[in-house]
Amino acid sequence: MRLYLLAAFAVLATNCAAPEKNYPTPSSPVEALEQAVSRAAEGTRAGAILDVQGCGVSFRQAKGVASRKTKAAMPLDEELRIASIGKLYTGAVIHIFAGQGRLNLDRPATAYLTHGEIDGVPNGEATLRQLLNHTSGVPDYYDARSYLFIDWTKPITSDRALKVARRRSATNEPGEAYSYSNTNYQILALVAESATGQSLGELIQSQVIEPLQLTETRYHTQHPGDTIHGYGTVLRPNADTWKYAENTGADSGITASSSDLNRYLQALFLQGGELASIGTAMLADRVQRDRPRQLAGAGAEILVGRTGTELVGHTGDTFGYLTFAFAIPEYDVTMVGHVTADKKDVFVELLQSTISAVKDACSNE
């Protein structure tokens, strides 16, 4: 799933921080970050993590509890359920093989899936480029029926996702408009597997995890695979979602520590990163998203402040766990935030406060 966070980005163009609650005015960017993660933990009555690297700041803290029941402290080094941020990994695999000439982004998925894998899926003729930037018109496998009736304790597979997509209608003709669809990345994974003869997990391991030595990153983790409990579903705002396996599969199947996630953002989107050419490709083919100053590239999201400063990366939203992972290339900064309750107002405030503190830190350098 994905969040709509336009309100958070206006702070890029102003000097206004998010409203503070019972905290003194921070005396430094680091103190502002400390307050932000503390407020987030208090607001969720669960846990929060904030990890910011760059502009002379190296900040990484966990606050709150990993479980409301046991009151165990929120761990800092555990792998997090980062949901749709996993698209940055699947997208990178596609671009790596496109760069090698093994995939052509302007060919349809059906050119690589010749055994009927996506027969009956609306707009199955969409190109890989259209799948990457969500202009395919392929329907999302999230709908009211899936929210209510899918067994979310079972891992998401392409078969499960495409079964839902087949019963829905296309949102638009391929290339005609932007419409976010998790199904796009399920199809892209099938394409990568067909072209290489390897599973997506093997490809992410060999092309991303091993070269960057991401020792705290995994794909399609067996669930429950962590100790951090999340809270909140569509109809049950306080439900414990620890046993859910929603963060599996090609569109949301990565778990990673905040330090590994920052390391990956640096490799993709900052100058001199090992995968900088891949990151550049993922930011190309930009299309307008649902709201002003929000763009989609061919694998990543771009959020543009009024001054033109860009945040590039992705957000992740899975039952009980909300995450942001952004680089700001202009500032040479990366930042990861994570909260463990479905409290989107708290999450947006954490992002707002982080952006404000980063802006202050970079202006003081």
pLDDT digits (tens, 9 = 90+) for 127-180: 999 999 999 999 999 988 888 888 999 999 999 999 999 999 999 999 999 999
Residue 220's pLDDT is what?
86
pLDDT, average across residues 235-253: 94
Instruction: Compute the CA torsion angle 205, 207, 210, 212 (nearest 10 deg).
Output: -130
CATH 3.90.1150.10 assigned to domain 6-18+28-363? The reply is no
Residue 290's pLDDT is what?
87
Contact 48, 64 (CB under 8 A): yes
pLDDT, average across residues 66-76: 97
* Cis previous bond, 224, omega within 30: yes
β-pairing, 287-288 vs 310-318, is unpaired
Nearest partner of 47 among 258, 315, 324, 339, judged by Cα: 339
Contact 267, 334 (CB under 8 A): no
Nearest partner of 233 among 241, 224, 225, judged by Cα: 241
Element at 60 (helix H, strand E)? strand 57-64
Q: Could you give the C-alpha distances from 95 to 136, 181, 208, 300, in angstroms and in order? A: 17, 19, 12, 12
Q: Output 223 or 361, whichever has higher pLDDT.
A: 361
DSSP string, 174-239: TTTS----THHHHHHHHHHHHHHSS-HHHHHIIIIIHHHT-TTEEES--SS-SS---B--SS-TT-
pLDDT at 15 over 50: no
Residue 17's pLDDT is what?
40
Report the predicted TM-score, pTM, of the whole model to 2 decimal places.
Answer: 0.94
pLDDT digits (tens, 9 = 90+) for 257-278: 999 999 999 999 999 999 999 9
pLDDT, average across residues 226-239: 93
pLDDT, average across residues 10-37: 73
pLDDT at 16 over 60: no
All residues at 6 or more sequence positions from 315 whose CB lies less than 8 Å from its CB, including other chains: 2, 3, 5, 84, 85, 301, 322, 323, 324, 325
pLDDT at 203 over 50: yes
Residue 21's pLDDT is what?
61
pLDDT at 226 over 60: yes
pLDDT, average across residues 246-262: 96
Residue 1's pLDDT is what?
55
pLDDT digits (tens, 9 = 90+) for 95-119: 999 999 999 999 999 999 999 999 9
Residue 278's pLDDT is what?
98
pLDDT at 14 over 60: no
Share of the chain above pLDDT 90, in %: 85
Mean of all residue pLDDT scores within the chain:
93
Classify each residue of 26-57 as buried b or exposed e, where b means 16 or more C-beta atoms within 10 Å of its C-beta: beebbebbbbbbbbbbebbebbbbbbbbbbeb
pLDDT, average across residues 307-330: 96
Q: Output 349 or 363, whichever has higher pLDDT.
A: 349
